[in-house]
Chain A
Amino acid sequence: MSVSRSDLLAGLRDVVPLVLSELPFGVVIGAAAVDAGVPAAAAVGMSVLVYTGAAQLAAFDLLGRGAPLAVVGLTALVINLRYLMYSASLAQYLREFPRRRRLTFGYLLTDPVYALTVGEFVDRPAGRAAWYYVGAAVPMWFAYQGGTVLGIVLGTSVPASWNLGFATPLLFLALLVPAVEDRPSLAAAGVGGGVAVLGAGLPLELGLVAGSLAGVAGGLLAERGWA
């Protein structure tokens, strides 16, 4: 596939504001790992292999509270279920590419990358949109990995009065607010958060699991006009 320079440059240009917020996001993740007592190598390994902020933050948070690894893994995999949606949405546009390229594109797929690029796949021929995707997704990967390393370095030197641990719920909040876009998604958030608060005393972080499941059920019920 020949390089479409104009599409590559358009992707690089449009991704700049996202890179500027991805870098501190990575810093928070690195710092959260330090806070939870996760060794630096495992934290970097997770950023490279898993490469998804919300699930990693939740995992570090749970590890720091001493939750069993099975609960940590299950929670992270539930949080990442949304990637099934992204994959389904992009599949039709990536069909024509060789397997190695499809694997690379899949690996680089994250929330902001999906949000930025899906419109380009709708608007442009796949061969051109793919170069836009490369221009957007590659800098995001470097920003995230660089941010993680920076966060690990900074995390050990930041004074406790900065309350760096508070950055984790704030980041979840920043992702939650745009996810609440209508009445059913508001119901999902309200039920999910409410049940998690009520179940906070349960062992094995079961309050989080119960809240998540109840929230999805609440959203579906609201959508069907039952609530």
Chain B
Amino acid sequence: MVSLALWALVVVLGLGTLAYRLSFIEAFASAEGVPPNVRAALRYVPPAVLAALVLPAFLLADGSLAVGPGNDRLLAGGVAAVVAWRTGSVLGTLVVGMVALYLLRSGLPV
């Protein structure tokens, strides 16, 4: 990895993210200052992007769709999803999902 290019990426992302954070704070705008259409679209960015990151990681094995008991990441992810839904705990989701995958991979009865 070219480290200069990587540092350029770090700086660009840092400045870009800071610009987002300061955008409306510095523009002195109120919450009503964002056009309603833009606000509506921004609301769906987190679920859309996060699902686009999560689902392929759980549903694909070696690049092809794997839905079934043979896919241990899908099973562990399913257990973790229930924990996330019932408890809302980030740490709990992480720990339960990791332990579930570990148990499935080590062939222990779960």
Contacts and interface: CB of A to CB of B under 8 A. Distances in A.
Interface in B48-95: 48-60, 63, 65, 73, 76-77, 80-81, 84-85, 88-91, 93-94
B47 A59 contact: no
Interface residues of A, number: 94
A163 B106 CA distance: 11
Task: Identify whether the interface residues of B are mostly helix, strand, loop, or mixed.
Answer: helix
B80 A46 contact: no
A3 interface: no
Among B12, B17, B53, chain A packs the most CB atoms within 10 A around the CB of B53
Contact of B39 (A28, A52, A85, A218): A85
Given A45-B10, A192-B47, A220-B40, A84 B34 contact: yes
B19 to A, nearest CB: 9
Interface stretch (A8-16, A127-135, A170-178): A170-178
Interface in B1-34: 1, 3, 5-14, 16-18, 20-31, 33-34
Contacts of A25: 90
Main secondary structure of the interface of A (DSSP, over half): helix
A218 B98 contact: no
A111 to B, nearest CB: 9
A92 to B, nearest CB: 4
A167 interface: yes
B22 A103 contact: yes
Contact of B81 (A63, A78, A173): A173
B20 A80 contact: yes
Contact of B13 (A21, A46, A87, A163): A46
B107 to A, nearest CB: 12
Of residues A172, A194, A220, which shows the largest number of chain B Cβ atoms within 10 Å of its Cβ?
A: A172
Contact of A49 (B10, B30, B57, B73): B10
A208 B55 CA distance: 10
Contact of B41 (A59, A211, A220): A220
A192 B49 CA distance: 7
The 4 closest A-B pairs by CB, nearest first: A215-B48, A49-B14, A219-B44, A193-B55
23 contacts: A54-B50, A59-B9, A73-B13, A83-B20, A84-B42, A85-B39, A87-B20, A88-B31, A89-B31, A90-B24, A106-B22, A163-B98, A163-B105, A170-B80, A173-B97, A174-B84, A174-B89, A176-B51, A192-B47, A212-B49, A216-B41, A216-B45, A223-B40
Given A174-B90, A185-B43, 18 more contacts: A21-B90, A24-B94, A83-B21, A83-B23, A85-B42, A89-B24, A91-B28, A95-B28, A166-B76, A177-B93, A185-B47, A196-B53, A207-B56, A215-B44, A215-B48, A215-B51, A215-B52, A219-B43
